[in-house]
């Protein structure tokens, strides 16, 4: 069947249309995305602004039209950190529903971690053993570990690349203080993640990690999803130092970096480096599947 997954993220809203059937991998058929930067559309009280709501309504209406044109029988719509954390979250979702007739569910941070872990497990399979999964989003960092399809530990921290850029770098707070803050936050959950033993496979997923891996020499997206891509700690350390000296326009020229995400790559690199250091990971393997695929796979399991 043809289905759509509508992901209302902190930075980008993305409709992914796939041909899916139970027992097989979902095959991408169409994609429609736009960088709304909802996490930057907040007022001083933490509410999504009227402009932010209007832009979201416009996008969802267009995404629904795309899904209908593509023949989708179902559209699974969900929102993550930006909407979840907004003080007017309920009002935003109701405004979208009234204007577009699209019901958007809100995932908790732990749900994000669990569903992303499911996607990674299905991609790499049972032979991967104990898997550690790390995902830097716009608003949060998700961490999960386990031997099964359900992780034994799943955590979400407010360490998204967009959030840290907005709350730290954009207002001139010291770079070194950001590094200390990030490491202290991750260290608080590291014990629970590591308590069950070392990882047989350490995996990173989603756009920030993919972009960092590409900066550090991984194969481009055009080479297809089955090419093995990795991010090494030594290469990342060099990239962190380089990114700290570059302006947004210069960052946007680096391989794998889109102009709408260039401004938050420094913060994303700080989180990635802290993750690899605190979990003593020399290498992370990049998984092409992430939260959207996890949501789809979970839904297919219920049919």
Domain 2-106 has CATH 3.90.25.10: no
Q: What pLDDT is attached to residue 23? A: 82
Distance of CA 69 to the CA centre of its chain: 27
Residues with pLDDT less than 70, the chain: none
Matching CATH topology for 2-106 and 109-292? yes
Paired sense of beta strands 74-79 and 2-8, if any: parallel
Structure confidence by residue, pLDDT tens digits, 229-272: 999 999 999 999 999 999 999 999 999 999 989 999 999 999 99
Paired sense of beta strands 141-146 and 131-136, if any: antiparallel
What sign does the CA torsion over 54, 57, 62, 65 have?
negative
Go through the chain and tell me how many residues it has. Answer: 303
Paired sense of beta strands 105-106 and 13-19, if any: unpaired
CATH placement of domain 109-292: 3.30.420.150
The structure's pTM equals 0.96
Cα–Cα distance between 23 and 75 in angstroms, integer?
20
Structure confidence by residue, pLDDT tens digits, 189-242: 999 999 999 999 999 999 999 999 999 999 998 999 999 999 999 999 999 999
Starting at the edge strand that comes first in sequence, how are the strands of the sheet with 74-79 ordered? 27-34, 13-19, 2-8, 74-79, 105-106
Cα–Cα distance between 205 and 290 in angstroms, integer?
6
Per-domain residue ranges for the chain?
2-106, 109-292
Paired sense of beta strands 153-157 and 283-287, if any: unpaired
User: Which CA distances in Å does 5 have to 88, 178, 247, 298?
Assistant: 24, 34, 34, 12
């Amino acid at each position: 069947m043809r289905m759509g997954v509508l992901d209302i993220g902190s930075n980008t809203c993305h409709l992914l249309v796939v041909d899916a059937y139970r027992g097989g991998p979902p095959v991408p058929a169409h994609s429609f995305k736009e960088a709304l930067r909802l996490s930057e559309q907040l007022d001083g009280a933490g509410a999504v602004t009227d402009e932010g709501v209007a832009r979201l309504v416009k996008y969802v209406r267009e995404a629904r039209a795309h899904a209908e044109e593509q023949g989708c029988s179902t559209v699974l719509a969900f929102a993550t950190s930006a909407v979840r954390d907004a003080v007017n979250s309920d009002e935003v979702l109701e405004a979208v529903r009234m204007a577009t007739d699209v019901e958007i569910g809100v995932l908790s941070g732990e749900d994000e971690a669990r569903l992303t872990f499911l996607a990674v497990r299905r991609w790499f399979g049972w032979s991967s053993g104990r898997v550690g999964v790390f995902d830097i989003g716009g608003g949060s960092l998700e961490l999960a570990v386990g031997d099964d399809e359900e992780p034994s530990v799943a955590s979400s921290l407010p360490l998204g690349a967009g959030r840290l850029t907005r709350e730290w770098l954009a207002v001139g707070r010291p770079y070194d203080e950001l590094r200390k803050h990030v490491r202290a936050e991750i260290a608080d959950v590291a014990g629970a993640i590591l308590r069950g033993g070392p990882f047989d496979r350490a995996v990173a997923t989603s756009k920030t990690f993919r972009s960092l891996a590409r900066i550090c020499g991984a194969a481009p997206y055009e080479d297809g999803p089955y090419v093995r891509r990795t991010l090494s700690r030594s290469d990342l350390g060099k990239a962190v130092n380089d990114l700290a000296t570059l302006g947004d326009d210069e960052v946007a020229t680096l391989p794998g970096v889109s102009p709408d995400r260039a401004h938050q790559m420094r913060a994303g690199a700080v989180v990635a480096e802290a993750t690899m250091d605190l979990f003593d990971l020399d290498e992370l393997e990049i998984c092409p599947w992430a939260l959207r695929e996890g949501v789809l796979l979970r839904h297919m399991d219920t049919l």
